[in-house]
Structure 1
Amino acid sequence: MRKCVVTVVGKDTVGIIGRVCTYLAENKVNILDISQTIVQDYFNMMMIVDVTKIEKDFSVMGKELETLGEEIGVKINIQREEIFEKMHRL
């Protein structure tokens, strides 16, 4: 299993979760865990996903998620789990 962390942050609007989850499903990305909150009209979502079955290059998927985020007015980032952990160690 190859895990990644997907984060979505921005102004809350209708359909953010639906659009992101649809993209992931279409690309054979399995959502293992998901958490989302809205604080004073700001949307924040973090997902742990399994990218073992993706058929495209990881960097291509990252660019497509960035583009999707621009379309729906949020910032979407995907990082491999090991990179995320190293960046967030204290």
Structure 2
Amino acid sequence: MEKCIITVVGKDQVGIIAKVCAYLADHSVNILDISQTILQGYFNMMMIVDASNASSPFATLVEELDALGQEIGVTIKLQHEEIFDMMHRI
């Protein structure tokens, strides 16, 4: 299993979850867990996904999710679970 972490942050608007999930489904990336909150008009979502069967290489997913985020006005980051864990160690 190739676990990855996706974070999405930006001003809340209709369709953020739908667009991100549609992209993931179109690229055979399975969502394992999802959490989202809206605080004072700002949207924050974190997903744990399995990219083992992704139809595109990891680097392509990173670039395309970044472009999708720019298109819809949010920041989308995709990281391997190990990198995310190391970056957020206390």
Q: For 2:13 and 2:54, how far apart are their aligned partners in 1?
A: 28
Provide Cα deviations, 1:28-87, integer angstroms capped at 9, x if missing partner: 000000000000000000000000001211111100000000110000000000000011
1:68 equivalent in structure 2: 68
TM-score of the two chains, using structure 2 as the length reference = 0.98
For the residue of structure 2 that corresponds to 1:54, the secondary structure is: coil
2:25 equivalent in structure 1: 25
How many residue pairs were aligned? 90
Q: For 1:3 and 1:42, how far apart are their aligned partners in 2?
A: 26
2:44 partner amino acid? N
1:25 partner amino acid? A
1:47 equivalent in structure 2: 47
Q: Post-superposition, which runs of at least 4 consecutive aligned residues in structure 1 deviate over 2 A? A: none
Q: For 1:84 and 1:6, how far apart are their aligned partners in 2?
A: 10
Structure 1's unaligned 5+ residue stretches are: none
User: Once the two structures are aligned, what percentage of the paired residues are identical?
Assistant: 62
Q: For 1:17 and 1:56, how far apart are their aligned partners in 2?
A: 21
Q: For 2:7 and 2:55, how far apart are their aligned partners in 1?
A: 21
1:10 equivalent in structure 2: 10
RMSD: 0.5
TM-score of the two chains, using structure 1 as the length reference = 0.98
